Amino acid sequence: MKIIKDRKEAADFLQRTSVEFEDTPALKTSVEQLFGEKLTLEQAVVRIIDAVRQRGDEALLELTAKIDGVKLSGIEVSNNEIAAAYDVIDDELLGALELAAERIRAFHEVQKSNSRTDFMDDELGQLVFPLERVGLYAPGGRASYPSTVLMTAIPAKVAEVKEIILATPPAKDGSISPAILVAADIAGVDKIYRAGGAQAIAAMAYGTESIPKVDKVCGPGNIFVTLAKKNVYGAVDIDGIQGPTETIVLADDSATPLFCALDLLAQAEHDEMASAIMITDSKQLADSVVKEIENQLETLERSQIAKESIERNGAIIVVDSINDAIDLANTYAPEHLCLTVRDPDYCMSRITNSGGIFVGESSPEGVGDYVAGPSHVMPTSGTARWSSPLSVNDFLRTSNVVAIKERSFREIGHAAAIIARAEGLTAHAKAVEERLKKLGEGSE
């Protein structure tokens, strides 16, 4: 893992690029093989979306066979399959999923209690409504992520969304991971569908014979899922454009080198495009962490993925002070920011841009990803500057209520008419003025 000491080199390294939309040689080849011609990823995704939009289930089944190599006899997962999944997973995993669900639900119930706005002076306010139907996406392929199901479905359930559906890629035999099925059942998902990639997003956005159209699509996925969400936005709402996952470990010489190394590797093992970065004011810690990474790397099941991620996007940046480290972290705006410093309160008082902050060595990101409580679906690619982690509020909508009393209308109506006439909207002005005239006549 490279160590960067020069401030300008560090700033250049942390400079964002649209890596999530990069056409790698391997992706270009696979797209050409799939469509028989050279297309950008964006063009390929648009073709997939158009096919599903126009031909529904027929296109969905055809694309699943062509892209995933899976010939499906049915798209919806039956209740019997879900019930059978409980017999497959072990009791230890079941207990862990139930504990995680309990903590996620408790955290988001508190959010819900703070999400409703009452009327003000009986004249102004907001009515809060849950969305009618949301579609969740849970990645598959190299690994299945039951935690993602819990982290997306439970906030929606707490928000009282009326119907929650889940799309997730099937295995080669058409089955769905038992852990995914159990997590969905625990979280209260209503329907589960065997569909992955851009075609799954298109199906939820526009609807097919089997999959109903939703109001919002949520959940992370690969580059095709990300581009599909970007393209269907407007037809439906989305939670965000999630790029490759990323972590900054901000540490001083009080940190344990082994823990820092494992936190970095935990990020790197997600995929080759993940970013695992440490910023520290201790050269000695940096050297020790490099050695620990080398020692631990070969013990991982996904060591090759982690190694490529570290070589491509990983670094340890050595700065002069913790203040410099905080400044760099704020500029990068990471999805995850792990604080292993003597004075975390001081650091937190200066941190402005981060999806999630993990404070102290007993709060590793690994706990946050699974059982802490807040959703692990968080902004990436620098979007933490303006967006937030998934929450109950993502599944609510509001309607403003204006119920002005006559007394207030007399006080503010004339100003409204003045502004309306200044904008050349005469009917607006007259609609107010005539009412004021009538009120004036009534008072006589």
20, 246, 292, 335: which one is catalytic? 335
Q: Is residue 444 over pLDDT 60?
A: no
pLDDT at 111: 84
On average, the pLDDT of the chain sits at: 92
Average the pLDDT over 225-246 and give the result.
93
Does the active-site annotation cover 336? yes
pLDDT at 115: 57
pLDDT at 414: 96
At 68-104, the pLDDT tens digits run 899 998 999 999 999 999 999 999 999 999 999 999 9
Band of pLDDT at residue 144, cut at 50, 70 and 90? confident
Q: Is residue 220 over pLDDT 60?
A: yes
Average the pLDDT over 257-268 and give the result.
96
At 40-61, the pLDDT tens digits run 899 999 999 999 999 999 999 9
Q: 378 vs 141, which has greater pLDDT?
A: 378
Q: Is residue 442 over pLDDT 90?
A: no
Q: Is residue 349 over pLDDT 90?
A: yes
Whole-model pTM: value is 0.91
Q: Is residue 288 over pLDDT 50?
A: yes
pLDDT at 19: 45
Q: Is residue 318 over pLDDT 90?
A: yes
Q: Which of 181-190, 236-245, 336-345 has the lowest mean pLDDT?
A: 236-245
Band of pLDDT at residue 116, cut at 50, 70 and 90? low
108, 270, 336, 376: which one is catalytic? 336
Q: Is residue 243 over pLDDT 70?
A: yes
At 365-421, the pLDDT tens digits run 999 999 999 999 999 999 999 999 999 999 999 888 899 999 999 999 999 999 999
Q: 225 vs 125, which has greater pLDDT?
A: 225
Does the active-site annotation cover 270? no
Q: Which of 106-115, 183-192, 316-325, 352-361 has the lowest mean pLDDT?
A: 106-115
Query: What percentage of the chain has pLDDT greater than the value 90?
Result: 80
Q: For residues 208 and 167, is the Cβ–Cβ distance under 8 A?
A: no
At 191-206, the pLDDT tens digits run 999 999 999 999 999 9
Q: Is residue 281 over pLDDT 90?
A: yes
